[in-house]
Amino acid sequence: MLLFENIALALAGIKSNKTRSVLTMLGIIIGIAAVIAIMTIGGSMSQGIQEEMSSFGANQIMMYVTEREDEDDFGGPGPGMRFEDSGREMKDDDLITGEMIQGIRDNFGDRIEGIGLKEEIGEAKAKSGSLYANVRVVGLNADILKMEEIEPVAGRAFTKEDYREGRKVAMVTDYFVDNMFSGDKDAALGKQISVLVQDRYYSYTVVGVYEYDDSDFGYSTGKKSDIRTDLYIPIKTAREQNHNNKGFANITVVGDPAGDISTLSDELSDFMEDNYYSRNQYFTVDTWTMSSMVDELTKSMATVSLAVSLIAGISLLVGGIGVMNIMLVSITERTKEIGTRKALGATNGSIRTQFIVESIVLCLVGGIIGMILGCAAGLAGSQAMGYTGHIQPLSLAVSFGFSSVIGIFFGYYPANKAAKMNPIDALRYE
Amino acid sequence: MSKREIIHLENIIKRFYVGQPNELEILHGINLSVYDGEFTSVVGASGSGKSTLMNIIGALDKPTEGQYTLDDVDVIAAKDEELSTIRNRKIGFVFQTYNLISRTTAIKNVEMPMLYKGMGRRERKERAEYLLEMVGMKERMTHTPDELSGGQKQRVAIARAMACDPAIILADEPTGALDSKTGRTVMDIFHRLNEESKKTIVLITHAPDLAEETGRIITLSDGNIVNVRVKYDADQYEESEPENTGETTGENSGTEEE
């Protein structure tokens, strides 16, 4: 009964004192907006990654040669962050050989769907007269095409003969065709193209066109025509052109999705160690899965979230103190009103309630503005990072609760002060 | 037939700074009865103790010693919460400075005591409208106090004082901030409330001409009732002689700050 009147009164107060109210609420607004934004971005990221994982890659195990570490070292470095500054360089007999790959096939054949092999020649520019396209020349085997679900939209995929004989054939993206053949896929098929990789020309015959998955590079900037896309060639061709007949620094094993990928990952690691690397004192093979990456990412996201939450918490604390300050000012200003209310029959309790409600309303209005700003920033941020924004309902609920708690906590002292005012002194206050 | 006693003050003593070297006695033992339907005025110079007396009658302050019964309720024994209820139900305050809540409308101001009483929304609104109509402010009920003149504000304040149909209306210099013409209108409203609604009114003033209009004039000086004059309807009341407990030693005179 009194509550509605109090809320209406508090809202009227905020409206009649707009500048002051907004300044008071600023701390709360910033704090809540920061929390919501970071939770939205974080949530959208992990949701996006999870979705990507479920579409592909969840059952992929990356195996890579890495330096041995001391037992007490912190977790292994990811494949992208191999230590290059060690005293010993990776030699040919440290690499994963075809024999080892065959060993994996023999021992785990029923539990894996394939082993993907990649050999990169390098970033290159394909040119034809004034036309050009940025590419990355990558050699790969049939298992990779299958696991990454790359299918030709025109022409054909590589044949067994292409792989076996190391033919100079290529699969290009539709972007490549747009740049080099004005989008005419059929015109591209069978054409000889030459690409320049570090002062050396390579030429390939286009046999297939596949669709470029732009979601992988959703955050790339610049003109569409400058986007660098993969030009695939058979793995053997790439190895020959690289004069590489050693082994692989890393391979990708595709596990049977029905099985337990992390167990398989561990077993593969043990298998490699026991059979091939036990006598290699410097190098070993480590395994790494998508889910372990997601775990790592989630962990680092949690750290970032914690840090931002801490800052937001400080902002909320400062905001709360601001609210308390303005409530104290407001109570002093309205001493006479408090006296009058007491003379009209307001109990200490109802005065206290009035000011606590006012403080809560102030914080909640701030909180709601913060939520709106935070959602907007969070969605925009997720978008900018290439993920679909998802508002986290939990974060809204938490913010709502938090704002109320701040309102109560920082409103209590001023409200209590108001409640305890002596009505005579309050009435006489000018 | 004797009328019912609404206010019963017995040997009211009020001291400030009790136990300290500067202890000060403002009221020296006031005995006063106000009967149902009476229009009483309390007059006295600044420092005579009339504000202190008004605070005690209004249940805003408790006397150091003495007995006070208001409409059969023992005010002295009342706790904080009960004092709020007494102020809410039994007393209608009218202040010199109106004391309307400035951020809200006239009708909301009138509804306020009813809100604290716990009356329903519709009932509140109806009564507030009725009261505002009574003081001739109905067409202005959605205005905020800033948009009203002094006399209009005071009329709204009177409507607010009547909100919970109190046992007494306690008016502290209600015309003090008004010019004589608007002051007249306000006084007329008090007379009407007294005559038509039979409201018991206690008017505190230092204007002798206003006091002359009331049924009984109580003159306060240096914390004592020095004179009680019954103007009209004398036989209606029990005779109330000034029961001066003496001790007008003068040591405390003129010490009460306004």
pLDDT one-digit tens code per residue, A273-294? 888 888 787 888 888 887 777 7
Whether A261 is covered by a domain: the verdict is no
Same domain (yes/no): A129, A201: yes
Question: Which residue in A has a C-alpha nearest to residue B166's C-alpha?
Answer: A344
How far B61 CA sits from the closest chain A CA (Å)? 7
pLDDT digits (tens, 9 = 90+) for B78-127: 999 999 999 999 999 999 999 999 888 999 999 999 999 989 889 999 99
- Find the domain containing A381 and state its range: 2-52+295-428
Residues in chain B: 258
Query: Which amino acid, one-letter code, is at A130?
Result: S
Q: Which of A145-159, B75-89, B167-181 comes out lowest in average pLDDT? A: A145-159
Whether A68 is covered by a domain: the verdict is no
Of A336, A343, A348, the CB nearest to B93: A343
Whether A147 is covered by a domain: the verdict is yes
Whether A403 is covered by a domain: the verdict is yes
Which residues does chain B have within 8 Å of residue A352's beta carbon, measured at their own beta carbons? none
Q: How far apart are CA A97 and CA A244, in angstroms?
A: 12
Residues in chain A: 430
- Residues facing residue B22 across a β-bridge: none
Question: Which residue in A has a C-alpha nearest to residue B122's C-alpha?
Answer: A1
Q: How far apart are CA B40 and CA B200, in angstroms?
A: 8
Q: How far is CA A103 from CA A79, A147, A319, B93, in A?
A: 22, 20, 64, 99
Of B61, B97, B116, the CB nearest to A345: B116
Query: For residue A197, which of A287, A291, A123, A288 has the smallest C-alpha distance?
Result: A123
Same domain (yes/no): A138, A195: yes
Query: Is the distance from CB of A320 to CB of A412 less than 8 angstroms?
Result: no
Q: What is the mean pLDDT of chain B?
A: 87
Q: How far apart are CA A172 and CA A181, in angstroms?
A: 12
Q: How far apart are CA A262 and CA A259, in angstroms?
A: 9
Query: Is the distance from CB of B214 to CB of B207 less than 8 angstroms?
Result: no
Of A5, A13, A344, the CB nearest to B113: A344
What is residue A80's predicted lDDT score, i.e. its pLDDT?
A: 47
How far B177 CA sits from the closest chain A CA (Å)? 15
Q: Is the pLDDT of residue A218 over 50?
A: no
Higher-confidence position of A335 and A129 = A335
Partner-chain contact A344 B88, CB within 8 Å: yes
B115 close contact with A: CB closer than 8 A: yes
Provide the 10 A C-beta neighbour count for residue B82: 15
Q: How far apart are CA B94 and CA B157, in angstroms?
A: 6
If phi > 0 it is left, if psi is from -120 to 50 it is alpha, else beta; for residue A337 that is alpha
Q: How far is CA B123 from CA A176, B2, B236, in A?
A: 79, 35, 35
Q: What angle do CA A302, A308, A314 make, to 5 degrees?
A: 135
Tokens 């660098």 belong to residue? A228
- pLDDT grade for A131, boundaries at 50, 70 and 90: confident
Q: Which residues of A touch B (CB under 8 A)?
A: 1-2, 5, 9, 12-13, 16, 336-337, 339-350, 423-424, 427
What is residue B169's predicted lDDT score, i.e. its pLDDT?
A: 96
- pLDDT grade for A221, boundaries at 50, 70 and 90: low
- Which of B116, B158, B257 to probe by mutation at the A interface, max A CB count within 10 Å? B116
Task: Give the pair of three-digit tokens for residue B14.
Answer: 């009020």
Q: How far apart are CA A398 and CA A38, in angstroms?
A: 13
Question: Which residue in B has a C-alpha nearest to residue A13's C-alpha?
Answer: B103
Q: Is the pLDDT of residue A145 over 70?
A: yes
What is residue B60's predicted lDDT score, i.e. its pLDDT?
A: 92
Of A9, A342, A344, the CB nearest to B104: A9
Same domain (yes/no): A234, A150: yes
What is residue B133's predicted lDDT score, i.e. its pLDDT?
A: 94
How far is C-alpha A416 from the geometric centre of its chain's CA atoms? 47
Partner-chain contact B99 A343, CB within 8 Å: yes
Query: Is the distance from CB of A423 to CB of A339 less than 8 angstroms?
Result: yes
Q: Is the pLDDT of residue A389 over 80?
A: yes
Which of A260-274, B39-53, B222-236 holds the top average pLDDT? Answer: B39-53
Q: Check residue A156 and report its DSSP letter.
A: -
Q: Is the pLDDT of residue B239 over 50?
A: no
Partner-chain contact A342 B99, CB within 8 Å: no
Same domain (yes/no): A418, A348: yes
Q: How far apart are CA A394 and CA A220, in angstroms?
A: 31
Q: How far apart are CA A59 and CA A114, in angstroms?
A: 11
Question: Which residue in B has a C-alpha nearest to residue A11's C-alpha?
Answer: B103
pLDDT digits (tens, 9 = 90+) for A91-120: 777 888 888 888 888 888 888 888 888 888
Same domain (yes/no): A181, A306: no
Same domain (yes/no): A302, A216: no
Whether A269 is covered by a domain: the verdict is no
Whether A279 is covered by a domain: the verdict is no
Whether A285 is covered by a domain: the verdict is no
How far A338 CA sits from the closest chain B CA (Å)? 9
Partner-chain contact A427 B95, CB within 8 Å: yes
Same domain (yes/no): A149, A40: no
Task: Give the pair of three-digit tokens for residue A18.
Answer: 């707009």
Which of A152-166, A337-351, B225-239 holds the top average pLDDT? Answer: A337-351
Q: How far apart are CA B247 and CA A364, in angstroms?
A: 60
Per DSSP, the three-state class of A61 is strand
Query: Is the distance from CB of B87 to CB of B164 less than 8 angstroms?
Result: no
Which residues does chain B have within 8 Å of residue A424's beta carbon, measured at their own beta carbons? 55, 60-61
Same domain (yes/no): A33, A137: no
Task: Give the pair of three-digit tokens for residue A418.
Answer: 């108001």
- pLDDT grade for B66, boundaries at 50, 70 and 90: very high
Whether A101 is covered by a domain: the verdict is no
Q: How far apart are CA A364 and CA A370, in angstroms?
A: 9
Domain boundary among A186, A213, A247: A247
What is residue B242's predicted lDDT score, i.e. its pLDDT?
A: 52
Which residues does chain A have within 8 Å of residue B131's beta carbon, measured at their own beta carbons? none
Task: Give the pair of three-digit tokens for residue A341.
Answer: 């209310």
Q: Is the pLDDT of residue A239 over 90?
A: no
Task: Give the pair of three-digit tokens for residue A328.
Answer: 């104290």
How far B33 CA sits from the closest chain A CA (Å)? 22
Which residues does chain A have within 8 Å of residue B88's beta carbon, measured at their own beta carbons? 344-346
| Residue ranges of B 67-106 with Cβ closer than 8 A to chain A | 80-81, 84-85, 87-89, 91, 93, 95, 97, 99-104
Q: Is the pLDDT of residue B6 over 70?
A: yes
Which of A179-183, A265-269, A302-306, B168-172 holds the top average pLDDT? Answer: B168-172
DSSP letters spanning chain B: -PPPEEEEEEEEEEEESTTSTT-EEEEEEEEEEEETT-EEEEEE-TTSSHHHHHHHHTTSS--SEEEEEETTEESTT--HHHHHHHHHHHEEEE-TT----TTS-HHHHHHHHHHHHT--HHHHHHHHHHHHHHTT-GGGTTS-GGGS-HHHHHHHHHHHHTTT--SEEEEESTTTTS-HHHHHHHHHHHHHHHHHS--EEEEEES-HHHHHTSSEEEEEETTEEEEEEE-S-GGGS------------STTTT----
Same domain (yes/no): A299, A414: yes
Q: Is the pLDDT of residue A206 over 80?
A: yes
Provide the 10 A C-beta neighbour count for residue A417: 17
Partner-chain contact A340 B116, CB within 8 Å: no
- pLDDT grade for B250, boundaries at 50, 70 and 90: very low
CATH (domain of A234): 2.40.40
Per DSSP, the three-state class of A160 is helix
Q: Is the pLDDT of residue A76 over 70?
A: no
What is residue B234's predicted lDDT score, i.e. its pLDDT?
A: 44
Query: For residue A139, which of A156, A108, A162, A111 has the smallest C-alpha distance?
Result: A162
Q: Is the pLDDT of residue A353 over 80?
A: yes
Q: Is the pLDDT of residue A81 over 80?
A: no
Q: Is the pLDDT of residue B248 over 60?
A: no
Alpha helices in A156-289, H assignment, sequence order: 160-165, 174-181, 185-188, 235-241, 261-272
Of B84, B97, B99, the CB nearest to A345: B84
Mean pLDDT (whole number) for A155-163 = 86
- Residues facing residue B217 across a β-bridge: B41, B229
Domain boundary among A182, A213, A247: A247
Q: Which of A69-73, A223-227, B60-64, B219-223 comes out lowest in average pLDDT? A: A69-73
3-state secondary structure B127-190: HHHHHHHHCCCHHHCCCCHHHCCHHHHHHHHHHHHCCCCCCEEEEECCCCCCCHHHHHHHHHHH
Same domain (yes/no): A333, A404: yes
Of B58, B100, B102, the CB nearest to A343: B58
B235 close contact with A: CB closer than 8 A: no
Same domain (yes/no): A224, A334: no
Q: How far apart are CA B213 and CA B41, in angstroms?
A: 9
B60 close contact with A: CB closer than 8 A: yes
Partner-chain contact B80 A348, CB within 8 Å: yes
How far B102 CA sits from the closest chain A CA (Å)? 9
Q: How many domains does chain A have?
A: 2
The dihedral formed by the CA atoms of B202, B206, B207 and B208, expressed in degrees to the nearest 10: 80
Q: Is the pLDDT of residue A48 over 50?
A: yes
Mean pLDDT (whole number) for A349-365 = 91
Q: Which of A57-66, A111-120, A170-179 comes out lowest in average pLDDT? A: A57-66
How far is C-alpha A94 from the geometric centre of its chain's CA atoms? 34
Same domain (yes/no): A424, A311: yes
Partner-chain contact A347 B115, CB within 8 Å: no
Per DSSP, the three-state class of A389 is coil
Q: Is the pLDDT of residue B251 over 70?
A: no
Mean pLDDT (whole number) for A126-151 = 83
Task: Please provide the distance, in angstroms rounded to a whole number, between the alpha carbons at the two ends of chain B.
Answer: 40
- Domains of chain B by start residue, with CATH: 5-236 (3.40.50.300)
Of B87, B97, B116, the CB nearest to A350: B116
Which H/E stretch holds residue A333? Answer: helix A290-333
Q: How far apart are CA A218 and CA A50, in angstroms?
A: 17
Partner-chain contact A345 B164, CB within 8 Å: yes
Which residues does chain A have within 8 Å of residue B89's beta carbon, measured at their own beta carbons? 345
Query: For residue B169, which of B154, B185, B183, B182 has the smallest C-alpha distance?
Result: B154
Which of A165-169, A175-179, A275-279, B62-66 holds the top average pLDDT? Answer: B62-66
Q: How far apart are CA A281 and CA A278, in angstroms?
A: 7
Question: Which residue in A has a C-alpha nearest to residue B104's C-alpha?
Answer: A9
- Which of B99, B108, B156 to probe by mutation at the A interface, max A CB count within 10 Å? B99
Angle, to 10 degrees, between the axis of helix A261-272 and the axis of helix A98-108?
Answer: 130
Q: Check residue A183 and report its DSSP letter.
A: T
Domain boundary among A213, A247, A281: A247
